[in-house]
């Protein structure tokens, strides 16, 4: 079954007083394009995280978010009381020695001083916590893969519908092929009789007509298009990672349909070709979403 490159996955876990959140989103892209926003505590594991995602998701424009939620009281940045007191004493001493007026608003002055509101993180990542985080990342990845599979199943149904439509349209061309030959022959002979108004070599005309009609023959194009339709179906059933291949097959289908249109020389056949092109364009648009 094919997979879509569009997906979403989220997982959370609790470790101690922390709630660890992992969120992954993916869209279509020609290669793996990963953007990661990781909580500072886990950044030392960024390369390992990237490798996990690249191995599981293969390609797509992927956005990863890992963040920590803590109790509001604990998350608030503490004021460094000792440092505030130290700044206060220094400013007061300088003001007395230099005979400079003291600040009107002590709080505003002291809170602007360096490192007064700086939260110093001294926590180190423990193996137990990383194991919990890693498991959560794997869970979020699996949710995204499941999402991709669901989207892939919907795409496969859409492709099958469009392929069936093209096959039906291809068969509907057949009745017009014999009619086209008769019309071409009548048109040429009628033109010869009206314009030249004289006898002509009918054997030579038959030979020229055969040559002309052979140039307009579309049996090879029909056969190749039928083969491409069959190959597209087989490729879909081969599993994920077939997006680029399906795109190439769709291009080949387009070539055969275009050649059929240029050779048709018949209004009804050209209308059918236009309908096939419309069905194929819808396939091409959606193939871009296939991994």
Res. 76 pLDDT band, cuts 50 70 90: low
β-partners of residue 23 are: 10, 65
Question: Dihedral of CA 187/188/193/199: which sign?
Answer: negative
Q: Region 152-173: what's the mean pLDDT?
A: 95
Average of per-residue pLDDT across 179-202: 67
Instruction: Quote the CA–CA distance of 275 and 254 in Å, as a whole number.
Output: 12
Q: What proportion of the chain, given as a percentage, has pLDDT over 90?
A: 53
Q: Measured in whole angstroms, how far is the alpha carbon of residue 188 from the centre of its chain?
A: 52
Could you give all domains of the chain from N- to C-terminal order, each with its CATH number? Answer: 7-72+127-148 (3.30.230), 78-111 (no CATH), 150-287 (no CATH)
**What's residue 121's pLDDT?**
54
Burial (CB count <10 Å: 0-12, 13-18, 19+), residue 90 = exposed
Lowest mean pLDDT among 103-117, 129-143, 192-206, 207-221: 192-206
- Whether 5 and 289 have beta carbons less than 8 Å apart is answered as yes
The per-residue pLDDT for 267 is 84
Give the tens place of pLDDT for each residue, 218-263.
889 999 999 999 999 999 988 777 889 999 999 999 999 999 988 8
Q: What is the pLDDT of residue 75?
A: 57
Q: Are strands 7-15 and 60-69 parallel, antiparallel or unpaired?
A: unpaired
Read off the pLDDT of residues 192-218 as tens digits, 9 standing for 90 and up.
666 656 666 666 666 666 666 667 788
Going across the sheet that includes 18-27, the strands are 7-15, 18-27, 60-69, 32-38
């Amino acid at each position: 079954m094919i997979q879509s490159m569009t997906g979403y996955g989220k997982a959370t876990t609790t470790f101690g007083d922390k709630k660890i959140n992992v969120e992954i989103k993916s869209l279509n892209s020609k290669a793996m394009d990963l953007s990661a926003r990781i909580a500072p505590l886990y950044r030392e594991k960024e390369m390992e995280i990237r490798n996990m995602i690249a191995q599981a998701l293969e390609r797509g424009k992927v956005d990863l978010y890992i963040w920590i939620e803590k109790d509001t009281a604990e998350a608030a940045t503490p004021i460094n009381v000792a440092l505030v007191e130290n700044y206060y004493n220094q400013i007061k001493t300088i003001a007395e020695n230099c005979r400079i007026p003291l600040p009107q608003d002590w709080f505003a002055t002291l809170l602007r001083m360096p490192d007064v509101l700086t939260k110093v993180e001294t926590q180190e990542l423990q193996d137990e916590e990383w194991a919990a985080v890693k498991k959560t990342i794997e869970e979020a990845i699996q949710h995204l893969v499941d999402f991709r599979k669901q989207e892939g199943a919907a795409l496969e149904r859409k492709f099958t519908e469009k392929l069936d439509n093209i096959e039906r349209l291809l068969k509907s061309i057949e009745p017009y092929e014999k009619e086209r030959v008769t019309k071409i022959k009548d048109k040429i002979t009628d033109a010869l009789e009206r314009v030249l108004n004289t006898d002509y070599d009918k054997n030579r005309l038959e030979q020229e007509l055969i040559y002309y009609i052979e140039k307009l023959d579309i049996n090879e194009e029909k056969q190749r298009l039928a083969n491409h339709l069959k190959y597209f179906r087989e490729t879909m059933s081969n599993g994920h990672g077939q997006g680029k291949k399906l795109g190439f097959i769709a291009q080949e289908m387009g070539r055969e349909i275009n050649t059929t249109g240029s050779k048709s020389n018949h209004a009804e056949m050209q209308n059918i070709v236009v309908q096939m092109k419309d069905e194929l364009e819808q396939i091409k648009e959606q193939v871009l979403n296939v991994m």
